[in-house]
Amino acid sequence: MNSFVIRIYGRTELAQLYCPNLCPEAAFRKLKQWIDLYPGLRDDLCAVGTSSHSRTYTSAQVRLIVAALGEP
Q: Domain residues of the chain, as ranges?
A: 9-69
Q: What is the pTM of this model?
A: 0.91
- pLDDT for 1 equals 54
Rounded Cα distance, 23 and 44, in Å:
27
Give the pLDDT confidence score for residue 35 in this predicted structure: 96
Q: pLDDT at position 53, please?
A: 79
Q: What digits encode the pLDDT tens for the residues 13-60? A: 999 999 999 999 999 999 999 999 999 999 999 899 877 778 999 999
Asked if residues 9 and 65 have their Cβ atoms less than 8 Å apart, the reply is: no
